[in-house]
Structure 1
């Protein structure tokens, strides 16, 4: 179970007069288990979806052999105060899967409480699992907590992407939200190999502080967890791909214990950050699967 930061525990004590947290339509759940026969296609063994999540089926258009795509739909139109959403995806031995969304996640303005988007990913021996949702758009006065846990076999690989767009959907000033916290914890053989968090509170933001996002307006992150890969070579190839991209600034770091690579990308426009993230993902695909990302550039 994910740990809720103290600030969000206090938000959670605020009452919601209309629909309470975990109420009808506010307690979204999606669970999936995937498996693959040797040399065959990846199949969906089990899935469970609860509103506001919906899954129409699997897509097999990915260029990577044996890889299937799950595109989650959310017909409710966005995330509201008091929403609690949970994803749980398991890729069994040799399974190859990508989980994405049909559009950006829109976190609406709030008067009280907060929204929590939780995700757990598990990858078995020689499995490859990607979680690449659309950007998270955070509106004025919103409070959004995102937590993600990864548990992978030493021979598996897991790729996670996240893009934060903090200027909302209206004419508000950028960084008009109240509090955004995104955290990832990854373990391999019960050893913690990556623990990373982005915690932004605009009321305390200093654009001169390089430890925040500085003067930039969009934040992109790519985590590549692949203990069996050549991490140094992969980090170099990603850095070489991103360095010439003038519209963004990026950093590439090797994770502890040779467990993988993390990439942070900053830019002024979401399109630029998404393009850079796609390029980093494409390099990652070449290193791990021997084939690039889908040509439609939709991660």
Structure 2
């Protein structure tokens, strides 16, 4: 299918509002292949938290796809947004796929945006741009886990993507810039097994926490850092500029290890910001 046809240019707009002590999905607008069914309230530790699954009817991302996601939280709203499964970027012989994401948090809003990993297949080209507007008193936990490809499917699938570009920038509601980060992966041009790149690791997690300065300091003290080459795991947190929060990175040989460390950091964030513990992992997680 050509670009700009039905099913190739999807968008999803989610607007969360706090009403009567609970957060509801007050606004929903979508176009295929994006879909959301309803907001669930399934977390006993945070009964007012709106839990939403992002669904794509195609099940994968193909060349020529253009996807747009807009998530807005009103004052004191609390939401958890995740995906139905991993985002699979299929092989491409022409064009590329792109997604744009806009996240807006009002005063005292709290958003956990924790989608499943991105799996770029061999010869895929994927561009992602995320624009964040976050109030000083709001908290955003944004996670991106990137796998090397289908490394157990074929040897050439491991770091076989043509290009993967992921950009993230954040501002205050008044437009004051906080930070910008861009990750560009081009395995054909630059070796991924170099020291200082991926070395012996395969899976990478990039976790951004936008939070008030005092909260970020407490989380940073608990986050820790470590490198264990025998177990194939490395992790650590550092401060974002302009007192924007923290950035937490994890490297691992397997996705399970990396997801476990991200969940550990997520648990610290929730305890420090909300004062609630995470529920037990779901069986499908």
* TM-score, with structure 2 as normaliser: 0.92
- In the alignment, structure 1 segments of 5+ residues that lack a partner are 1-18
Q: Aligned to 2:5, what secondary structure does the other structure show? A: coil
- CA–CA separation in structure 2 for the residues paired with 1:243 and 1:47: 43
Q: Aligned to 2:92, what secondary structure does the other structure show? A: coil
Q: CA deviation at 1:65?
A: 4.1
- CA–CA separation in structure 1 for the residues paired with 2:11 and 2:279: 28
- CA–CA separation in structure 2 for the residues paired with 1:51 and 1:208: 38
Q: Aligned to 2:13, what secondary structure does the other structure show? A: strand
On the 8 A contact 2:179/2:242 being kept in 1, the answer is no
- CA–CA separation in structure 2 for the residues paired with 1:210 and 1:244: 15
Partner of 1:136: 118
On the 8 A contact 1:29/1:50 being kept in 2, the answer is yes
On the 8 A contact 1:85/1:116 being kept in 2, the answer is yes
Asked if 1:165 is matched to 2:150, the reply is no
Partner of 2:222: 237
83, 108, 129: which is aligned to 2:90? 108
Asked if 1:295 is matched to 2:283, the reply is no
132, 135, 147: which is aligned to 1:153? 135
Q: CA deviation at 1:213?
A: 2.2
Partner of 1:46: 27
Q: 1:210 to 1:196 in 2, by over 3 A?
A: farther
Q: CA deviation at 1:207?
A: 4.3
Partner of 2:169: 185
- CA–CA separation in structure 2 for the residues paired with 1:200 and 1:94: 37
On the 8 A contact 1:206/1:214 being kept in 2, the answer is no
- CA–CA separation in structure 2 for the residues paired with 1:30 and 1:207: 34
Q: Aligned to 1:29, what secondary structure does the other structure show? A: strand
Partner of 1:196: 181
On the 8 A contact 1:41/1:66 being kept in 2, the answer is yes
Q: 1:54 to 1:270 in 2, by over 3 A?
A: same
Q: Deviations over 1:40-74 (max 9, x none)?
A: 00011110121111111011012224211111111
- May I ask how many residue pairs the two structures share in their alignment? 279
Asked if 1:205 is matched to 2:190, the reply is yes
Q: 1:179 to 1:126 in 2, by over 3 A?
A: same
- CA–CA separation in structure 2 for the residues paired with 1:255 and 1:275: 23
- In the alignment, structure 2 segments of 5+ residues that lack a partner are none
Q: How well do the aligned residues superpose, as a CA RMSD in angstroms?
A: 2.0
Q: CA deviation at 1:100?
A: 0.6
